[in-house]
Amino acid sequence: MSLIQTIELSLGSSGALISADLVNLSDKHVEDYEQHWQPRLQEFSQEDQDLSWRFKEQLANRQANYESYAVEYDGMTQGMMLLETQYHWSMFTPGQRLVYVETVVSAPWNRIYIQRPPRIKGVGRGLIEFARQRSQALGYNGLVGLHSLPGAVQFYEKLGMMRLELDPEEIVDADEDIPYFEYMGQTQEQESRDE
């Protein structure tokens, strides 16, 4: 498990800045999720509603188009993310690939609806910013897309992501009616600021 980069976060109680490690997802992170996260999520009826992180780790290890990451601080996994890097296209910039965030989660004690104040702030933001860096590194101009759970819509709006409203005729069933967000390409953002 090698360090990819450090990210700056803050302690929720004091606001003091801290440096956390961004690393590739490993068995240690999946074990933290299973042993420490899941009991706390169950206690608050907030179980994550997607595939297991063990499956996601294996997917990223077997398929080159998936990448999985974790944030560590003080010996504990504070957040995790799964990216798809080859087969998603921008809805705002036709013909341009983007990095798609399959899943991004923060540890239960960092979620404001479970713990106030959260133990550590900025984990989700740090992971999304790293997804944007990956997009730049892959030549995708910083384009990142994701579907948001209803409770996270404000979070992505605060990050400055653009929301795409789906045409009701394109929605096959109610489960598909989840908001889609995308970061514009970095040159598009600059042009918007210059106007």
Taking only the tens place, the pLDDT of each residue in 118-145 is 999 999 999 999 999 999 999 999 999 9
As a whole number, the mean pLDDT across the chain is: 88
Helix, coil or strand: residue 164: strand
Q: DSSP states of 83-109 as a string?
A: EEEEEEE-SSSTT-EEEEEEEEEE-GG
Q: DSSP states of 172-189 as a string?
A: -SGGG---EEEEPPHHHH
What is the radius of gyration, based on Cα positions, of the chain? 17
Is 151 a residue whose pLDDT tops 90?
A: no
Is 53 a residue whose pLDDT tops 50?
A: yes
Q: What number is the average pLDDT over the span 140-156?
A: 92
User: Which pLDDT does position 66 carry in this prediction?
Assistant: 98
Taking only the tens place, the pLDDT of each residue in 73-103 is 999 999 999 999 999 999 888 899 999 999 9
User: Which pLDDT does position 172 carry in this prediction?
Assistant: 47
Q: What number is the average pLDDT over the span 4-10?
A: 97
Q: Are 154 and 161 in contact (CB under 8 A)?
A: no
What CATH fold (topology level) applies to the domain 3-194? Aminopeptidase (3.40.630)
Helix, coil or strand: residue 113: coil
User: Which pLDDT does position 177 carry in this prediction?
Assistant: 63
User: Which pLDDT does position 167 carry in this prediction?
Assistant: 56
Domain ranges of the chain: 3-194
Q: Are 66 and 110 in contact (CB under 8 A)?
A: no
